[in-house]
Structure 1
Amino acid sequence: MMNPIKVLVVDDSAFMRALIKDLLSNNKRIQVIGTARNGLDALDKIKRLNPDVVTLDVEMPVMDGIDALKKIMSESPLPVIMVSSTTTEGAKNTILAMQYGAFDFIAKPSGSISLDLYKVKDELINRILETKRVNLKQLIQADPIEPKPLTTIDDNWKQCSVLKTNSYRQGKKLVLIGTSTGGPRALEKVLTRLPGNLQAPILVVQHMPKGFTRSLAERLDAISEIHVKEAENGEIIQNGVAYIAPGGMHLIIRKVGKTLVTELSTEPPLKGHRPSVDKLFSSASQLQEYHKLAVIMTGMGSDGTEGLKQLKQSKNIYAIAESEKTAIIFGMPKSAINSGYIDCVTDLEKIADQITKIINEG
């Protein structure tokens, strides 16, 4: 049997520390090796206990989760899972934590002392188990990396090339982006590098619970040339605007007259996801006269691959996958690449340039 994943639990509430420890201790693949009551205590315990993963509360006295995370990623980098309240402030700090290198986060079902934390027990355990596959080098790469040419590429991967058709110059265009674990930072690197005059709307599905996508959109909007917003039901979508699917709702795109309109749906999750990348891609596959550019980036699982198949069958589609070199978790891009439906595999830092060239230059 493989060695269990060693976890340090950090929370200022003794009750929450005991509850999280209890929830995790039922899983044989996880061993809680210690607890800490604030960020300062956590830094000391990390050096002494050498955990594989840290669960970190956001709001704590002495040293809060954000300051602790910065120090962890600079002094003893390892996967950190934020355990956050769903308040507006909690959501903002959680999104900030993603930019500082947190691996992922779990939303407490209610308040800072969440008696019903058992509701997200499986989610928390799955996040911890996912850290086995993390690309730690990318996680600690907080500063933008200068694009470097790909020197090697797997045989079944395709290097990006100029589109063989000039039809992208004329037709209506649509950018579709799907991502999950590691996605907030990946989206920052892509969306902030797109020009404000991008000649297409951008529809984004980022796996994230309700209450957090608005903070993500607001942060990205503040640092991007394009406008970034949480999608609303019935919006007429416009060029140079990125619409992020709200947590807990599918984002669907429909043609109404001569325009494209967003539709938010509470239909059941698809393969465990709502929003679902497959759902967005599938709805876009119905838009025959639009040229679609689909991008699949970091994330666990295979969401997006089935939708990509439907897009390919509908023609007028160019598909990009993030490379293994830069993906924090290479699950979703790998699944898409293995399907044979990807036209281009490239590093994260080059994706925005590819989008701009294809959309604005054709």
Structure 2
Amino acid sequence: MKPYNVLVVDDSAFMRKIISDLIESDPRFKVAATATNGQEALDKVKEIKPDLVTMDVEMPELNGLEALKQIMETHPLPVIMLSGINEQGMRETILALEGGAFDFIRKPSISNSQDIMAVGESLREQMNAAMQARERREARSAEAAAQASAAPPASSVPGVPPSPPEPAGGRPTEPFRPAASALPRTAPPARELPRPGREKPAAPGPAGPAAGEAPRKGGVRPPAKEAPAKPLLRREASRPAALERPADAAARAVRPGMASVPPSKPAAAPEPGTKGLRKLVAVGTSTGGPRALKTLLENIPGDFPAPIVIVQHMPPSFTKSLAQRLNSFSPLEVMEAEHGMVLKNGTAYVAPGGYHMKVVEMGGGQYAIQLTREEARNGHRPSVDTLFESLLPLEQLERHAVIMTGMGSDGAKMMKALYDAGVTSTFAENEETCVVYGMPRSAVELQCVTHVLPLQEIAPKLVQVVR
């Protein structure tokens, strides 16, 4: 098999050499060229048409963010960003992921050989995932084209004008555009998968606006109405201890031998919306997640009657930048979670990188965040499975679980456990809109998903179900 061609972009000659060596240790990839800045990268993309690009975030003349924007507009292809750990680099990395980058890795420490090897392993995993995702899209496109060519032309029906031609290719790579135009123009059909033995869902009510179409007034999106129900496609389909009670004792809830956690928030009177919670939404995502979370959260109204707890696979410090970015456009209040935070409606909590996040009952209808440094699970900390598992004993809550784009299978096993325990609803992003159809596919294969939807339809349906 001919190796995939990679363009390596970095203003440091030493870093270009390190990244090139890490890439070519996998025989499936070859470094076809290197570039020292964003402008040179644009020229090389046009010249050699690589299969994939690794792009430094911070460079002179034209930085990685601007170069990515132009690549997505003119020659869309997978781009993996290389980010420093300073605040500027982290902020620009989040913008790059939102703007169409496949994923990112942090730059390795040049004085630490073990760190270089770990970064190389992560980089090669992402490159292979990007190529597999591309091949899956091309296969779907070829299958769709074959079906279209076998169908009789529309013009053969008397009195019916021919339909305009469908666009060629698979799922388009999203260019860097404002949020409202970042959604695909045509949504694939949604699937609702009823549980075996359960009644068919009731007939839909009045149709509401499609996702992304609700007008904003004064910069705030009005509460979403019920989304139009889609046709049904039938398809065969140990309790953790509640360690915390009052908020001021949250820091003492750490089990013996567990690594320390961040300091808890000081005790305070219950805030509005924290007492008597009845509903909870938990979301898990990985590769492609920042953009998926943006689409999800900007379409959920600020008066949403439940807290949303989120695990996004991401290193420490980057999750704070992600939460700040999500908070800048979502009607919800979005923040990085802290140990001991009391959950309240209309708020989204992003698990901090390097910590598992759990939800624990405090009594009196209140629930709080618990952060731990337990071993990585499924190769991740935070882990979606850890979050979902913490929801199992919270039977008095109406629980909703969501899995969106990402590599691997984190979250699927515990979504199955929640489904078997009778949670209210489970959601998975469908293949057509996933950057990587790994985590959602694992859940679908376990037959534990009640709603399989394209990304832009998840928020309206979630709002409808929760309300």
Whether the 8 Å contact between 2:76 and 2:175 is mirrored in structure 1 is no
Note if 1:236 corresponds to 2:236. Answer: no
Note if 1:145 corresponds to 2:252. Answer: no
Partner of residue 100, structure 2: 101
In structure 2, C-alpha distance between the alignment counterparts of 1:145 and 1:129, rounded to whole Å: 26
- Alpha-carbon shift at residue 256 of structure 1 (Å): 1.2
- Alpha-carbon shift at residue 117 of structure 1 (Å): 3.1
In structure 1, C-alpha distance between the alignment counterparts of 2:416 and 2:70, rounded to whole Å: 43
- Alpha-carbon shift at residue 295 of structure 1 (Å): 0.7
Whether the 8 Å contact between 2:277 and 2:306 is mirrored in structure 1 is no
What's the secondary structure of 1:7's corresponding residue? strand
Whether the 8 Å contact between 1:138 and 1:327 is mirrored in structure 2 is no
Out of 8-17 and 127-136, give the one that drifted further: 127-136
Q: Can you list the C-alpha shifts for 1:315-351, whole angstroms capped at 9, x where unaligned?
A: 2331011111111111111111111110011111111
Note if 1:260 corresponds to 2:259. Answer: no
Partner of residue 223, structure 1: 329
Q: What is the correspondence of 1:139-288 to structure 2 with a 5 Å cutoff?
A: 139-140=173-174, 142=176, 143-145=181-183, 150-151=188-189, 158=193, 172-258=278-364, 259-288=366-395
Whether the 8 Å contact between 2:189 and 2:453 is mirrored in structure 1 is no
Identity %: 43
Partner of residue 167, structure 1: none
Runs of at least 5 residues in structure 2 that lack an aligned partner in the other structure: 138-169, 203-275
Whether the 8 Å contact between 1:292 and 1:318 is mirrored in structure 2 is yes
Partner of residue 321, structure 1: 428
Partner of residue 45, structure 1: 44
Whether the 8 Å contact between 1:288 and 1:315 is mirrored in structure 2 is no
Out of 271-280 and 101-110, give the one that drifted further: 101-110
In structure 1, C-alpha distance between the alignment counterparts of 2:36 and 2:200, rounded to whole Å: 54
Q: What is the correspondence of 1:286-297 to structure 2 with a 5 Å cutoff?
A: 286-297=393-404
In structure 2, C-alpha distance between the alignment counterparts of 1:148 and 1:162, rounded to whole Å: 27
Partner of residue 334, structure 1: 441
Runs of at least 5 residues in structure 1 that lack an aligned partner in the other structure: 165-169
What's the secondary structure of 1:81's corresponding residue? strand
- Alpha-carbon shift at residue 248 of structure 1 (Å): 1.5
What's the secondary structure of 1:127's corresponding residue? helix
Whether the 8 Å contact between 2:194 and 2:200 is mirrored in structure 1 is no
What's the secondary structure of 1:139's corresponding residue? coil
Partner of residue 25, structure 1: 24
What's the secondary structure of 2:410's corresponding residue? coil
Whether the 8 Å contact between 1:138 and 1:328 is mirrored in structure 2 is no
In structure 1, C-alpha distance between the alignment counterparts of 2:412 and 2:376, rounded to whole Å: 16
Q: Quick one: structure 1 residues 9 and 343, their matched pair in 2 at CA, closer, same or farther if it must change by over 3 Å?
A: same
Q: Can you list the C-alpha shifts for 1:57-90, whole angstroms capped at 9, x where unaligned?
A: 0010111001100111111110000000011111
Q: Quick one: structure 1 residues 215 and 63, their matched pair in 2 at CA, closer, same or farther if it must change by over 3 Å?
A: same
Q: Which has the larger radius of gyration?
A: 2
Whether the 8 Å contact between 2:399 and 2:425 is mirrored in structure 1 is yes
Q: Quick one: structure 1 residues 36 and 348, their matched pair in 2 at CA, closer, same or farther if it must change by over 3 Å?
A: same
What's the secondary structure of 1:320's corresponding residue? strand
The amino acid across from 2:389 in the alignment is S
In structure 2, C-alpha distance between the alignment counterparts of 1:149 and 1:162, rounded to whole Å: 24
Partner of residue 214, structure 2: none
In structure 1, C-alpha distance between the alignment counterparts of 2:118 and 2:329, rounded to whole Å: 35
The amino acid across from 1:130 in the alignment is A
CA RMSD, aligned part only? 2.4
The amino acid across from 1:145 in the alignment is L
- Alpha-carbon shift at residue 313 of structure 1 (Å): 3.0
- Alpha-carbon shift at residue 147 of structure 1 (Å): 7.2
The amino acid across from 1:158 in the alignment is L
What's the secondary structure of 2:374's corresponding residue? coil
More strand by share: 1
TM-score (norm. length: structure 2): 0.71
- Alpha-carbon shift at residue 148 of structure 1 (Å): 5.0
In structure 2, C-alpha distance between the alignment counterparts of 1:241 and 1:151, rounded to whole Å: 30
Q: Can you list the C-alpha shifts for 1:274-305, whole angstroms capped at 9, x where unaligned?
A: 11111100001110111111111111111111
Corresponding residue pairs, total: 351
What's the secondary structure of 2:358's corresponding residue? strand
